[in-house]
Every structure is written in structure tokens, then in C-alpha cells.
Amino acid sequence: MKAKIFLFFMLFLFVKVNAQNSISGIVTDAQSRTSLPGVNIVITELSTGAVSNNQGHYIVNNLPNGEFLVSYSFVGYETINKEVNLTGNTHIKLNIALSPKVIEGQEVVVTGSFTGTQHENTVQINAVNEQSLNQVGTPSVMAALAQIPNVDVISKGPGVMTPVIRGLSLSNILVLNNGIPMENFQFSEDHPYMIDASGLSRIEVIKGPASLMYGSGAVGGVINLIAEPVAEKGTIVGSANLRYYSNTVGTNSDIGIKGNENGFVWGARVAMNSQKDYLQGNGQFAPNTRFNTQSAKMNVGFIKKLGTFRLFYNYDRDKFGMAVPPALALVTERGRENNVWYQNLTNHLLISKNKIFLGNFKLDADFSYQNNNRRLEGDPNNPPFELVNMTLQTFTYRMKGVYNFNEKFKAFLGIQGLSQTNKNYQAPQHIIPDASQNDFSVFSMGRYHWNTNIVTEAGVRFDHRNIFIPAYTSNGNPVPDMTRNYNNVSASLGTNFQLSENLLLRLNLASAFRSPNIAELTQNGLHGDQYQRGNADLKNQQNTEADLGLHYHSRHATFEISAFYNHINNYIYLSPTNNYTNGNRIYQYMQTPSELYGGEAGIHIHPHPLDWLHFSANYSYVIGKIISGGYLPLIPANKLHFELMVTKNKWHQFRDGFIKVQTDYAFGQNHPSEFESVSKSYTLVNLIAGTQMKWGSQWVSLDVTASNLFNVNYMSHLSTLQEVGLYNIGRNITVSLHIPFGIVNPKQ
């Protein structure tokens, strides 16, 4: 055992790696016993797989040694996951029988401590799949997250949205792009994440502290955007997506292509999103909420016996209008072009993701470089037009070695780091000064299967952060050099109890931390229409959270209920004060002991023998308090969500058809913070229909979504446009068309 532990702490193992492993078999219908062509076979951890042919046969070869989960999925059938252990020259034959879908089965998720199915994890991970992303009734990918209980968004219009998880937001939430932390000034609700839904297969969400795995900034949770899998070996395939939004007279389109030539994989996708100022429920337009975005994504790599080696490049060019008081006076007609008071953003992201499989040892090595340029353009008739121009450059690395000691115990040891610089150019407003930040962490976690019914995970992490801000001038006053060092230890303990075949209990305890960021330490000036002032004396924010969850599933029903309590020492938040400067209220960063508590509950019923009927409902509840008295800002209202869906698997030339009605009831937020207003309750109804239809040899997907069907004029408590008297978006009809295409390489 000691020898195994020694090997685990070595990052490189010298073993024979000439494995020639393969998995093959036939996929059939469990009832009719007939073969199923077109079944997707995916090994998520390797981003590779196959599709069954007309005889239902499949083969995935050239695989490395190791333990992997193989997923078998097909439209209208339940997904099956099989665990395989490849040990060298292994040729596994797996014949699979798929049953018609009743309740969604276990998904394979990658954002947790270890890759595995939902029921294996000690923390619950929610996922939003590609189909749900296509059915979102607004042109922001973040809006798709609001369908998850206790996940919401702070909105500054349909283009600028930032996530909220169990009452925590902004710097307390970590957004990952393919596992890489996004770095684009996310300390403010004015700063949208520069992401879009093109080329995504799904989004995974962890609710609760995940600092142990991902570092400072993940104290409230993690949102991971996961790219589409590679093409099947020997094929070149692609897809086009077209969306139209009636409310904003907007279009969102993308087209991509990808190929796989004997393990050499590549892909490219471009997207454009253009939206006019949205219409409120009262029929009036919301001035300067227009936005225009463009993006390009490319990837290239190898998937071989030794592992996977992939390079990703993302380019985003975005313009977001700002509905601030100066803009409201200038924008008198509804339009599409950004001319006054808009954010002019450019982002480059380069990612190197690598996995090396050496028997029982796996090494993950991820590196990234991000270059984010943020400009604020004001009034062209009132110079200077360019008010802000700054660039944030970030290099990150994360290396993690995972070792399987035996069938019961596996563990990982990793290091993670960041080097970041912010630089201001000639524009007069410096939201934050020139600064540099360097992070280093070491972390470890183990998973132990006590028996088939109990799994325990425990881990610990050490973080160090150094921030250096050279001397600068703020509002004509000299500010001396500032150096800050922050150290902290995080720990977590979680257990998964399989009480019976259908009943699962999860219990988690975690202590996580977040260091103050540069904005919270230094800000001193106008940011949008707020005068924001930092606090150089801020300390580490430390939280301790307990989570308890119960999950029940059967063939025709699922039920989920969970509760959490989160105590936060030195909670950092931006609070308005009673002081003003030049007519602008001063907002000050403060710290105070706080607590958040609440929970969520959900049920999904598919009554037998009414195979065409689905009913689901969920409830979200969260309270955020200051220990000394009062309530925290930006806490979402409690919500009820109901959904009724009827389905039709096959009908003439159509398949996987559905119609569903959604009802969302937001309770009044009667516990606002000191400077917030009480928000009224409201009810929204959405109607969604979709199907797949045959177009030549391809299946084309069509979805139509009518959101806010009755054109309710309402204000969400998390809409920051309340401050300028604007309501949320009114009725919107979205039409979404997904067109796949493909070319089979005859050489394969």
C-alpha cells in the first residue's frame, strides 16, 4: 500500500503504454429485439465514441488503459451507462438493449471531484442539455440556468445576465469554459460573461462550495460550459442553428463543422447574435438594451492510446448597450446599432487540455491564456467618447494526478495557479488601477467505497494569493504602492448513502474561502451610474456550509429535496450609502458576518400507463441575512415552477415530438436589503413545442417557444433596470431550427 501511495504522489509513471484496447457490440431495442441504428456511444472522459450502423453494430478502438464510463443514448430511449476496465490488449464486447424512455436516467458528469454518474457523486450536479439550450426564450445562454431550482440570474436586460446560486453571485460564483475559469472582470453585474451557446453540449452546475476543486471564487458554486464531443472516427460532420426572437426582432445563428481522421480531431464554428432594444410588457421599448455579438471557435487535437491532447481557441467580439440615465436621454428611437453608451468588448481565450492515461494513473494538465479588452463608449457628442479602456491578461494552469489504488479507493493530488495583469490605457476612467495578481494552490481529495451502498469523499486545499498595485493617482490624489497576501485552507467531507435501490441520501460539509479582488480593494470612481468605492482593509471571506439532500427515483417518478445552511464570516458585498458625490450615490464595499439558508424540492412524474404524459414541479427557497440585523442585497425571490408535457415518439415523418406548458410563480421579495425596494409577486406562463423531422437523409430539429405568453408587465427583484424604471422583457416568440449535416470519409 505504501508503494502505491508513493506512486500516486509522482506526477509521471514509467509503464508500458502500447495498449490496443477496443469496445464493440450490437445495440438493440429491449422490447422488439431489433437492431437500433444511429445510437450515440460516448466515452465522456476521452471526448470520443461512435454511432451504431444500420445493423446496430458499433466499435470504439485505439483506447488507452483505465476505467471509463461508456454512455449509450438514442432519441426516445433511456440512456445506459456501463463501466469498463481496460488493462492492455483488451477487447470488450458489450451488447446493449435500450428501453423506451420514461424518466431521464443518470447522466455522466465531469464537473465533480471524479468523472462519474449522478448517483455516484456526493454532491448533486445539475445539467442543462443541448435541447434545453435551444428552447430558451431569450438570447442569453445564462437564462437557461434559471430552470434549475435555486439558480437565477441578475439581469440588466436580455443581453447582460450574471448567475446567482443559492443567493451568491458575482465574485462568489466561478464560471468555467471547458473547465477553465473565465476571467473577464466578473466583479460587477454590469460585466457579462463573454460566452454563447454555440458549440455547447451541456452546462453543468454545482450548488454550494467548490473551492476545494477550483479555488477562490467558487464558494457559492460552479457553472461549467462543456463543448460538444468530437466527430465519430472517419467522419466529417457539422450543424447549423438558426433562431429568431420576435420581441427583439433578433437573430442568433451559428454554423460549425468537425472531423476525425484516425484520432486526429478538429472543429470550427462561427456565430452571430443581433438584437434590438427589447419591448416591455406595457409595449414600450427599453432604450439602449440592444446588443450585437460575434464569436469564432476552433479546436484541433489528437485522441490516441496514450491520452487526449487538444487545443481550443475562442474569439468573442461583443457590444452591449447600457440602459443608464445618460443613454435614456439620448436613445429616443428603437434600434439595433450600438452608437452611444455601450460596452465594446473583445476576448481571446486559448486552452490546452491534455489527459495522459498510464494504467491506474491519469494525469490531467490544463493551461490557458486569456486576453480581455474592455472599453466603455459614451456620448460621441460629448468628448471623450471612450471613457474606459483596459486589458486583463491571465495565464492559468491546473495539473491533477488521479490514481486508482484499488476497486474501493481512488484519490488525486493537484496544483493550480494563476498569473494576471490589468493595464489601463489612455481613456480617462480607470475602473480599477494597473495591478498584478499571482495565485498558487495545492489540493487533494480521495473517494472511498465502503461497500456498494456508501461512498465518502474528503479533501483539503491550501491557497496563496499575492496582489500588487503600483502607486497611482485617484481623483487627483496620490495612492502609494499596495501589496496584499492572502493564505487559506479549505476542506470538505461528503457522503453518499444508497439507502435502497431507489433511495439516495447525500450529506456534505465544506469550508471554503474567497480572497478580496482588486476591484473590491481599490475602486474609487464612477462605474456605470454608480460611484463605487473600494476598501483596502478587506479580509478573507470564509464560509462554512452544510448540505443535506434526499433523492428518490423509480421507473415512473423522481423526487428530490435538499436543504443548506451557509455561514459566512467577513462576507464582502457592495452596499449603497447615504452619501453622494456630484449627484451620484456612493456605493461602498463592506464586510459583515452573514448567513444564507434555504433549500429546494422537485418532483417529476410519468404516470403509467399514460406514457405520453409528464408532470414536474420544483420550489426554491433562500434567505440571506446579516447577522447583526437586516438582509443581504441581490437575494432572489422564492419561486415555484410547474411543467406539464405531452410527447409523441413517432408520428409519420416526425419523431420525439412534444408540447409543454410551464408556469413560474415568483413570490414577493419582502426581505430586501436596506437600500433595495420590496418586489411584487408575478406569474409567467411559457408554451414550448418541438419535434424532429426528416429532411432528406437528416433529422432536423424544430422548436418554438412562447415565453411570457400573456405579456405580463413585471419587475424581477434581480433586475438592475428597476433603478431606471424599466420592466422585464414582455412576450417573446422564439423559433429555433437545428440542421445537422455530414460526410462519411470512405477511407475509414
Span 318-363, pLDDT tens digits: 999 999 888 998 999 999 999 999 999 999 999 999 998 887 888 9
pLDDT, tens only, 106-153? 667 777 777 766 677 778 788 887 777 777 778 888 888 888 899 999
DSSP state, residue 144: G
C-alpha cell at 479: 495612492
DSSP state, residue 120: G
Residues sharing a CB contact under 8 Å with residue 82, sequence separation 6 or more, in sequence order: 69, 70, 72, 94, 96
Q: Is the pLDDT of residue 13 over 50?
A: no
Helix intervals (H) in 630-715: none
Distance CA 447, CA 495 (A): 10
Question: Angle at Cα 573 formed by Cα 539 and Cα 205, nearest 5°?
Answer: 100
Neighbour tally for 344: CB within 10 Å:
17
Residues sharing a CB contact under 8 Å with residue 241, sequence separation 6 or more, in sequence order: 134, 198, 252, 253, 254, 255, 736, 737, 738, 739
What is the radius of gyration, based on Cα positions, of the chain?
Answer: 26
What is the mean pLDDT of the segment spanning 433-442? 93
pLDDT interval class at 101 (50, 70, 90): low
C-alpha cell at 79: 440512456
Q: Is the pLDDT of residue 105 over 80?
A: no
Predicted local confidence at residue 102, as pLDDT: 56
Question: How far is the CA of 374 from the CAs of 346, 535, 544, in angstroms?
Answer: 7, 23, 35
Over the chain, what is the mean pLDDT? Answer: 86
Distance from chain centroid for Cα 530: 28
Question: How far is the CA of 354 from the CAs of 366, 367, 510, in angstroms?
Answer: 6, 9, 29
Least confident of 94-108, 448-462, 546-560, 649-663: 94-108
Alpha-carbon torsion (674, 675, 680, 682), positive or negative:
negative
3 in helix, strand or coil?
A: helix
Neighbour tally for 617: CB within 10 Å:
15
Amino acid letter, 333: E
| CB 604 within 8 Å of CB 615 | yes
pLDDT, tens only, 641-663? 999 999 887 777 778 889 999 99
pTM for this prediction: 0.87
What is the mean pLDDT of the segment spanning 590-615? 89
The strand pairing partners of 313, in sequence order, are 298, 350
Which secondary structure element, helix H or strand E, spans residue 132, and what is its range?
Answer: helix 130-134
pLDDT, tens only, 459-500? 999 999 999 999 888 777 788 888 999 998 889 999 989 888
- Which of 142, 157, 152 has its CA nearest to residue 200? 142
Predicted local confidence at residue 714, as pLDDT: 95
Q: Is the pLDDT of residue 745 over 70?
A: no
End-to-end alpha carbon distance in the chain: 45
pLDDT, tens only, 174-200? 889 888 888 877 777 778 888 888 888
Length of the chain: 748
* Domains assigned to the chain: 19-101 (2.60.40.1120), 233-744 (2.40.170.20)
Torsion region of 619: left, alpha or beta (phi above 0 gives left; psi -120 to 50 gives alpha): beta
| Burial (CB count within 10 angstroms: exposed 0-12, middle 13-18, buried 19+), residue 672 | middle
Question: How far is the CA of 686 from the CAs of 117, 278, 733, in angstroms?
Answer: 31, 18, 10
Distance CA 375, CA 388 (A): 5
Predicted local confidence at residue 12, as pLDDT: 36
Neighbour tally for 524: CB within 10 Å:
18
Q: Of 17-21, 69-73, 98-102, 444-448, which has the strongest mean pLDDT?
A: 444-448
- Which of 289, 294, 300 has its CA nearest to residue 257? 300
Predicted local confidence at residue 662, as pLDDT: 95
| CB 423 within 8 Å of CB 391 | yes
Predicted local confidence at residue 643, as pLDDT: 94
Which tops the pLDDT comparison, 388 or 102? 388
C-alpha cell at 241: 442553428
